[in-house]
Amino acid sequence: MNIPAKLGFEFIEGLVADMVQDDPQKRPSMDEVVSRFDQIRNGLSSWKLRSRIVNRDEPRFLGFFRSVVHWTRGIGRIVRRIPAVPTP
């Protein structure tokens, strides 16, 4: 598997790998994808769902600044009780 350009999507790599198989017969059905995705998402903590996606080659200073901005906004959403994943 290729090294991802972004960090933070490790939890879904298996599902994505199954969905992009060369042989279409080996790919999961859409119902199975939805079911597996729901299972994966339900297994993640609120902190993981709110975590920042990071560029692999992001400079440390820039990453620190972006993390401060991200978590400042995120804590505001937690205080206002805005869910990590909106539901329709």
Say which residue the tokens 């869910």 belong to. 83
The count of C-alpha atoms lying within 13 angstroms of the C-alpha of 81, restricted to the half-sphere facing its C-beta, is 0
**Is 56:9 a contact under the CB 8 Å cutoff?**
no
- Model pLDDT, residue 56: 86
Domain-embedded: residue 11: yes
Domain-embedded: residue 88: no
pLDDT cut 70: percent of the chain above it: 95
- Model pLDDT, residue 2: 60
Q: Which two tokens stand for residue 46?
A: 């609120």
Question: What is the number of domains present in the chain?
Answer: 1
Residue predicted with more confidence, 1 or 36? 36
Q: Which two tokens stand for residue 14?
A: 């298996």
What is the domain extent for residue 46?
A: 6-79
**C-alpha distances out from residue 24 to 32, 35, 37, 42, 45, Å:** 14, 19, 19, 27, 33
